[in-house]
C-alpha cells in the first residue's frame, strides 16, 4: 500500500486526511511504530484510529485515559472470584505451591486493552490510547515497555510479547506536556484544523441531504471563525465534530442557507462555553457571513 492508496482508502471510509497526515500514518504502519497525534479537541485524532481499523480490517481496541488510570485498568487484572472458587474446590487435595501456580494461569486473567492488543490474532488490532495527556506520569512510565518493544511484563506469568504487532495510535489534547521518553518511542504528527476545501468535503460526506449552498456556507463560516481577527473573540474554536453536528442541525431545521439569526440560535452547537456562545452576536455573525472580496 502506497501513501496515495492509504489516502484513497481513508477517504472511502469517510476520513479526509491531508497528505502529511497520510504520510505519518503510512510510516507508522511501515515502520511498525506508535503514532502520537496532538492537536486541539475535535480535529479528528480519534477518528483516524477508527478509520484505520476499518481500512485495515482490524479490530479497534480503545483505552480511554483519565486521571488516576492504573495499569490494571489498561493491562489486566486477575479474576479473583474464579481464583477463590478454584482454591476452595481444591482445598486439602493439592499442595499449597501447586495451588498457587494453578490460580495464576492465563484463564484467570481479565484482559484489558493493552493485553488484548498484544494477544490479538493476525493481522493484529488497532489500539487507540485516547487522551493520554489526561493520565498521570506514572502511567506514562508504565507505557514505555509496550511502546518501545510491544511487550508487557506480568509478574506471575512473565513477559507477554505481541503475536502480531498492533497499530498503535496515541492522542493528546496537550492539557499537559508528555514526557520525552513517550515522545521518543513514537512517530509524531500535529493535527491542525482542516482547510476550507477539506472541511467542505468532510461535511458533505458526513451529512446526507445537505444542500451545496449550505455546505459551502458552513465550511466558510467555521473557517472564518478560526481565522484572525475573529478567533480572538472566542476561548476555543469549534472542531470538525462541531461543524458536522451544526450542519446536521441546520438540515433538521430545513435550512437552505445561513443568516445571522439562525447562527445565533444554534451557537450552542458550535461552542460549549457560555462566554463563546454570548460572543457570537448577530452583528458578529453578519460580519462572518459577509462575502469576502475576491
Q: What is the pTM of this model?
A: 0.85
For residues 65-84, give the mean pLDDT: 80
pLDDT confidence of residue 155 = 80
pLDDT confidence of residue 156 = 77
From CA 77, how far away is CA 72, in angstroms rounded?
A: 5
- The dihedral sign for the CA sequence 202, 203, 207, 210: negative
The pLDDT confidence band at residue 72, using thresholds 50, 70 and 90, is confident
What φ, ψ does residue 78 adopt, rounded to 5°? -85, 145
List the grid coordinates of 218: 458552513
The answer on pLDDT for 189 being more than 80 is yes
pLDDT confidence of residue 83 = 60
Q: What is the mean pLDDT of the chain?
A: 89
| Residue whose C-alpha is closest to residue 288's, from 205, 230, 219 | 230
Amino acid at each position: 500500500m502506497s501513501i496515495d492508496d492509504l489516502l484513497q482508502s481513508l477517504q472511502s471510509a469517510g476520513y479526509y486526511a491531508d497528505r502529511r497526515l497520510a504520510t505519518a500514518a503510512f510510516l507508522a504502519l511501515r515502520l511498525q511504530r506508535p503514532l502520537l497525534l496532538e492537536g486541539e479537541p475535535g480535529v479528528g485524532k480519534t477518528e483516524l484510529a477508527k478509520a484505520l481499523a476499518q481500512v485495515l480490517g482490524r479490530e479497534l481496541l480503545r483505552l480511554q485515559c483519565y486521571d488516576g488510570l492504573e495499569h490494571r485498568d489498561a493491562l489486566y487484572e486477575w479474576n479473583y472470584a474464579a481464583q477463590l472458587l478454584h482454591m476452595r474446590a481444591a482445598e486439602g487435595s493439592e499442595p499449597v505451591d501447586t495451588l498457587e501456580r494453578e490460580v495464576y494461569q492465563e484463564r484467570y486473567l481479565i484482559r484489558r486493552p493493552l493485553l488484548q492488543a498484544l494477544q490479538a490474532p493476525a493481522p493484529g488490532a488497532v489500539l487507540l490510547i485516547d487522551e493520554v495527556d489526561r493520565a498521570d506520569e506514572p502511567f506514562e512510565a508504565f507505557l514505555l515497555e509496550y511502546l518501545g518493544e510491544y511487550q508487557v511484563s506480568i509478574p506471575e506469568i512473565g513477559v507477554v510479547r505481541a503475536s502480531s504487532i498492533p497499530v498503535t495510535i496515541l492522542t493528546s489534547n496537550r492539557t499537559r506536556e508528555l514526557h520525552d521518553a513517550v515522545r521518543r518511542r513514537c512517530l509524531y504528527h500535529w493535527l491542525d484544523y482542516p482547510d476550507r476545501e477539506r472541511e467542505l468535503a468532510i461535511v458533505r460526506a458526513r451529512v446526507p441531504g445537505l444542500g451545496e449552498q449550505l455546505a459551502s456556507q458552513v465550511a466558510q463560516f467555521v473557517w472564518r471563525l478560526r481565522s484572525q481577527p475573529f478567533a480572538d473573540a472566542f476561548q476555543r474554536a469549534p472542531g470538525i465534530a462541531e461543524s458536522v453536528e451544526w450542519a446536521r442541525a441546520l438540515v433538521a431545521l430545513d435550512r437552505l442557507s445561513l443568516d445571522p439569526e439562525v447562527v445565533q440560535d444554534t451557537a450552542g452547537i458550535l461552542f460549549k462555553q457560555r462566554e463563546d456562545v454570548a460572543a457570537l452576536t448577530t452583528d458578529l455573525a453578519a460580519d462572518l457571513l459577509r462575502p469576502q472580496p475576491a
